[in-house]
Amino acid sequence: MVTKNDLDGEIAQHLKRLSHKDAVCNMPCDRLFRFELLHRIASYLLLKALTLLSQLLKQKSAKEIVPIIPQWAFEYRKLLLDYNREVRWATHDTMTNLVNVVGFVLS
């Protein structure tokens, strides 16, 4: 079983940022404009977190990345269903980088 102590600190921080969208989008909204603004902010934050995570995955070794796979799988399922095309594209890009680094270790 993988604990939070086994994860690399930087990677764990970026994975945590991916779950912040729910907190931003669930704020009470009384107007459509405010609702759309919150979703745009949430998408921007997701894109930033995914970009940083993708770059970080390129720098890490497979041993450092393998422990994050269960958490990434959970976040990946949610991100694939995002309404923003750029978020879905960045999710795919991040997954590609993860598989490129870890792929040969898992097989």
2 is a domain residue: no
Counting the structural domains of the chain, the total is 1
Structural domain contains residue 57 = yes
pTM beyond cutoff 0.75:
no
Using an 8 Å Cβ cutoff, are 91 and 80 in contact?
A: yes
Structural domain contains residue 1: no
Residue 79, domain extent: 7-106
pLDDT tens for each residue of the chain, 107 residues long: 455 566 677 777 777 777 665 555 555 545 556 667 777 888 888 999 999 999 999 998 888 888 888 889 999 999 998 888 999 999 999 999 999 988 877 66
Query: Does a structural domain hold residue 49?
Result: yes
